[in-house]
Chain A
Amino acid sequence: MMWNGVSTVMTKSTSKLVCDAGPIIHLDELNCLHLLTDFQKIILSNIVCEEIKMYRPLALKRQNLSFTKLSQKIPPDETIQTICRIFSLDAGETEALALMQKNPQAIFLTDDAAARLVAKQMRFKVHGTIGIIIRSVRRGQNEPEEVLKILSNLPIKSTLHIKASLLNKIIIKIKNEFDL
């Protein structure tokens, strides 16, 4: 990878991901699903797989991307179940959080604010689509200009909810960060 005249070779991240359906769907809409190849393992629960298949049937069949799909259901413990009910999390989010309990070192990937709030309270590392896209520069997967293009197209190409003023601020921040 070349950027600012500096050549870097990146080794794969050691982090594992536990994914909710949202970021997989949004990254696929943006043709950015390949950015997840940087992670050691991408774990999807049974229900999350079904949700993805419903909205983006081809997303889980993309080449060069291997998901660890769990076929059996992960029963959440009583605490998770109660918290998830209080925060009105859906079955996929609840199962993903149960998976996080079994993989506490993993990063939980979700774009849902309520799921994210619960994950943070449970002290899990949690990020979303925007983070993965911007991280791709740091990880040598994209040039900053490419990331700016993806972010600019986000309102047209994806179903991710983000207010325009915040997206503009992010674009300006990235431009400043990389002297563009």
Chain B
Amino acid sequence: MKTIHTEVPELLYKKAEALVKEGWFRDEKEIFSEAIRRFLDTHQSKLMDNFIRDDVEWGLHGND
């Protein structure tokens, strides 16, 4: 496991803290790991690359 130090908005942290207090997660660390995992699953480099390339084609040669 890699340890990172970062800043998160107060409100976001409070929401994570509340989920831990309610017993849904063991700790905030678990929430942030899960959130990052989900984000990375849906934001793969190839996918983002393809979307932007689609945009360029539409911008240049689209018909709407």
Chain A, 154-180, contact with B by CB distance < 8 Å: what is the 0/1 string? 000000011100100010011001000
Given A88-B39, A114-B43: A134 and B56 interface contact (C-beta under 8 Å): yes
Chain B, 50-64, contact with A by CB distance < 8 Å: what is the 0/1 string? 011011101111101
Does A130 lie at the interface of the complex (its beta carbon under 8 Å from any beta carbon of B)?
yes
Task: List residues of chain B with CB within 8 A of the CB of A163.
Answer: 45, 49
Does A152 lie at the interface of the complex (its beta carbon under 8 Å from any beta carbon of B)?
no
Which A residues, 117 to 154, have Cβ-Cβ distances below 8 Å to chain B? 117, 125, 127-128, 130-138
Does A66 lie at the interface of the complex (its beta carbon under 8 Å from any beta carbon of B)?
no
Are B55 and A131 in touch, CB under 8 angstroms?
Answer: yes
B: interface residue count bin? 20 to 34
Question: Which one of B35, B51, B60, B61 contacts A128 once the chains associate, using CB atoms below 8 Å?
Answer: B51
Task: List residues of chain A with CB within 8 A of the CB of B45.
Answer: 163
Q: Tell which of B39, B47, B58 has the most Cβ of chain A within 10 Å.
A: B58
How many positions in chain A have a CB within 8 Å of any CB in the partner chain?
A: 30
Task: List residues of chain B with CB within 8 A of the CB of A128.
Answer: 51-52, 55
Tell me, in angstroms, the Cα distance from A138 to B35 when the chains sit together.
Answer: 39
Residues of B within 8 A of A (CB): 35, 38-39, 42-45, 47-49, 51-52, 54-56, 58-62, 64
Residues of A within 8 A of B (CB): 13-15, 87-88, 107, 113-114, 116-117, 125, 127-128, 130-138, 161-163, 166, 170, 173-174, 177
Given contacts A131-B58, A134-B59, A170-B52, 7 further A-B contacts (CB under 8 A): A113-B42, A117-B42, A128-B52, A130-B56, A134-B55, A161-B48, A174-B60
